[in-house]
């Protein structure tokens, strides 16, 4: 992606809102977050990881709280 990190942060936030409105988009958004797990920018890496966790399906992993528990 050729844009500033601030733009990527905004896109990540939009993606998580899309997942909330339409859970079917989850399978499209998760791979995008995964691309940034090893980013050189730690803030970007952190946001990608947090949003990835929020996208997890209910009960998919017992160690990761699902989005409805966090809300």
Q: pLDDT tens, 18-51? A: 988 888 888 899 999 999 998 888 899 999 998 8
pTM, 2 dp = 0.72
* In the chain, where the domains are located: 5-70
| Residue 56: pLDDT over 80 | no
Q: What is the DSSP letter of 21?
A: H
Count of other CB atoms within 10 angstroms of residue 48: 22
Token pair for 19:
């997942």
Give the pLDDT score at 11: 93
CA distances from 12 to 15, 17, 21, 43, 61 (A): 5, 9, 14, 12, 22
């Amino acid at each position: 992606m050729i844009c500033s990190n601030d733009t990527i942060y905004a896109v990540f936030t939009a993606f998580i809102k899309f997942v909330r409105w339409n859970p079917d988009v989850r399978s499209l958004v998760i791979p995008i977050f995964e691309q940034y797990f090893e980013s050189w920018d730690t803030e970007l890496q952190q946001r990608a990881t947090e949003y990835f966790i929020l996208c997890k399906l209910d009960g998919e992993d017992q160690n990761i709280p699902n989005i409805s528990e966090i809300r």
